[in-house]
């Protein structure tokens, strides 16, 4: 469903945002996500009010985090999977996180061009977002964007992360299942998966298992099974599964999705899914508390008065960073002057 007048760019009221999102209006959903991503303090109150109204209409989607090293074929896999799901009557939202430049903040945001067939489907919504320096392979408001997509009626939400590594574990704090894509002959990428995702990965799919790469894919799958067997799989009584697939040839993609559904069904039956989502909400709460405290600290008059002096003292070597931090907290009344 689309908005009656998608070109209209006047500010929307809270009711208009709510009704548009609930109706599945793509233009309103896009504007709502832009609203919650905004760093403008004037937008924060409306964004929070919108999320509060929409929360009762969330929670009905299968949430899947998809990670993997560059070149593993994440976009190709997501497009193949998304087209299969839409053909089966599902509505699919893709939150694609693109890396940002640490200098300019710029980002390619090219996932719509990498998934042209999926982007053209009425039952699909693809939202590319710049990571903008956020660690964990996700963006600043990925969790909130996921909830908006659920409220808009999407029953599958795929979160495509920036890459793979230790920080990628954050995606497990907002999804029901973490799927890691690997390449044949993974080498160092296999080591990255072992270091960073053993404790959170639920399913591993060795992509590009076709043609001349098939033997190498089978070897890589065996290595991954051995690595996962020696890891800690207490988070999932089923243990992580390793499968082969070829997104390019559209083979094995359905089996990967079947494994995702089996994982989620088992987690729901045992109560693990409820516990996982509850823990995610607790993490979200304290993440926002930390964020608000940091913002309040930097905006505090006492800190602003000290900033130039304290920064100069540190950069000139007259004061250690730890001592300077103590003085900031002392100015806020959060540290006892006689504690040292």
Q: Is the model more confident about 234 or about 97?
A: 97
Tokens 């760093």 -> residue: 39
Token duo for residue 46: 């409306």
Nearest-angstrom CA–CA distance, 165 and 189: 9
Nearest-angstrom CA–CA distance, 104 and 247: 34
Tokens 């964990």 -> residue: 136
Strands (E), 32-176: 62-67, 92-98, 124-130, 156-160
Q: At what angle do helices 188-196 and 214-229 cross, to 10 degrees?
A: 30
Average pLDDT, the chain: 84
3-state secondary structure of 78: helix
Q: Is the model more confident about 30 or about 338?
A: 30
Four-point Cα dihedral 270, 273, 274, 276, nearest 10? 120
The reported pLDDT for the residue numbered 99 is 54
3-state secondary structure of 236: coil
Task: Using pLDDT thresholds of 50, 70 and 90, give the confidence band for residue 110.
Answer: very low
Contact 68, 182 (CB under 8 A): yes
Contact 324, 314 (CB under 8 A): yes
Residue 159, strand partner residues: 65, 95
H or E stretch covering 47: helix 41-54
Tokens 């090219």 -> residue: 110
The average pLDDT across 246-269 equals 96
| Longest distance between any two alpha carbons in the chain, whole Å | 71
34-66 residue pLDDT tens: 999 988 888 989 999 999 999 999 999 999 999
Residue 186 confidence (pLDDT) above 80: no
Token duo for residue 259: 């494994």
Residue 103 confidence (pLDDT) above 50: no
Tokens 């990428």 -> residue: 189
Q: In degrees rounded to 5, what are phi and psi of residue 281?
A: -65, -40
pTM of the model: 0.85
**Rg, C-alpha atoms of the chain:** 22
Token duo for residue 306: 């000290």
Strands (E), 18-147: 62-67, 92-98, 124-130
Contact 190, 182 (CB under 8 A): yes
Token duo for residue 153: 């009626």
Domains parsed from the chain with CATH numbers: 1-57 (1.20.5.170), 58-269 (3.40.50.300)
The average pLDDT across 299-303 equals 91
């Amino acid at each position: 469903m689309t908005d009656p007048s998608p070109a209209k760019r006047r500010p929307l009221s809270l009711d208009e945002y709510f009704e548009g999102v609930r109706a599945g209006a793509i233009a309103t959903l896009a504007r709502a996500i832009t609203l919650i991503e905004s760093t403008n303090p004037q937008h924060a109150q409306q964004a929070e009010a919108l999320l509060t109204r929409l929360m009762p209409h969330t929670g009905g989607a299968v949430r899947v985090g998809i990670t993997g090293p560059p070149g593993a074929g994440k976009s190709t896999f997501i497009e193949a999977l998304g087209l299969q799901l839409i053909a089966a009557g599902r509505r699919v939202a893709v939150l694609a996180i693109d890396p940002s430049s640490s200098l300019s903040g710029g980002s390619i945001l090219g996932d719509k061009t990498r998934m042209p067939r999926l982007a053209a489907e009425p039952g699909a919504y693809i939202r590319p977002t710049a990571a903008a320096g956020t660690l964990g392979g996700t963006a600043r408001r990925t969790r909130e964007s996921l909830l908006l997509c659920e409220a808009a009626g999407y029953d599958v939400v795929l979160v495509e992360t920036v890459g793979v590594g230790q920080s990628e574990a954050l995606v497990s704090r907002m999804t029901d299942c973490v799927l890691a894509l690997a390449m044949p002959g993974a080498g160092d990428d296999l080591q990255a998966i072992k270091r960073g995702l053993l404790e959170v990965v639920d399913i591993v799919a060795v992509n590009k298992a076709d043609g001349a790469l098939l033997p190498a894919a089978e070897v890589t799958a065996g290595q991954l099974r051995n690595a996962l067997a020696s890891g800690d799989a207490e988070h999932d009584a089923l243990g992580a599964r390793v499968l082969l697939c070829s997104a390019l040839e559209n083979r094995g993609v359905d089996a990967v999705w079947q494994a995702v559904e089996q994982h989620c069904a088992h987690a729901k039956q045992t109560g693990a899914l409820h516990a996982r989502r509850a823990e995610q909400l607790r993490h979200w709460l304290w993440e926002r508390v930390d964020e608000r405290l940091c913002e309040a600290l930097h905006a505090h008059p006492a800190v602003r008065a000290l900033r130039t002096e304290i920064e100069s003292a540190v950069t000139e070597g007259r004061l250690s960073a730890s001592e300077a931090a103590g003085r900031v907290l002392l100015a806020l009344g959060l540290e006892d002057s006689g504690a040292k």
